[in-house]
Amino acid sequence: MPMILDHRLDHIYAAIADPTRRAIIDLLVRGETTVGELAGRFPMSFNGVSKHVKVLERAGLLTRRVSGREHWVALRPAPLADAAHWLDHYRAFWGTRLAALEQMLIDEDAAKPRPRARRTVRRK
């Protein structure tokens, strides 16, 4: 089972909770880009965007490389992919358990002795 529940998770959850950062991730899905290019897409200062990028970087969700003056950032989906695997595992686990619960109750009812049909006895 992948390591998704380690101490970095607090950073990841905080990173994902912000809508601007989710929008940045959305943009990065399409491919690598520069921080400058990202900043141009949001109605906030370059520093504002840069701070969001740093939060994502600290959460391990993006990587940065510097080329001359430009900072190229790319999505690092591994932590998210790990979370997706965890979800798949437990979705299957609980789905199976709930089906087993239903079957167990069905079997319990089936095992109950059937009430006998009443016979009317006529007495003279």
Partner 1 sequence: MTLPDSSAPTLVVRRTIPFPRERVFDAWLDPKRLAQFMRPASGRQAIVEVDPKAGGKFRIAMLHPKSPPDGTVHTGEYLLIERPSRLVFTWISPSTEQRATTVTVDFIERPGGTEIVLTHVALPPKQIEGHRAGWTEILGLLERLTL
Binding site for partner 1 (CB under 8 A): 1, 3-6, 9-10, 13-14, 16-18, 22, 25-26, 29, 75, 77, 80-81, 83-84, 86-87, 89-91, 93-105
CB 73 within 8 A of CB 35: yes
Q: Between 18 and 70, whose beta carbon lies closer to partner 1?
A: 18
Q: What angle do CA 110, 111, 113 make, to 5 degrees?
A: 105
- Nearer residue to partner 1 within complex by CB, 111 or 117: 111
| Residue 6: CB minimum distance to partner 1, A | 7
Name the residue nearer to partner 1 (CB basis): 45 or 103: 103
**C-alpha to C-alpha distance for 119 and 96, rounded to whole angstroms:** 44
Closest CA relative to residue 80, chosen from 33, 21, 20: 21
Decide: 57 and 64 in contact? Cβ < 8 Å.
yes
What's the min distance (Å) between Cβ of 33 and partner 1?
Answer: 15
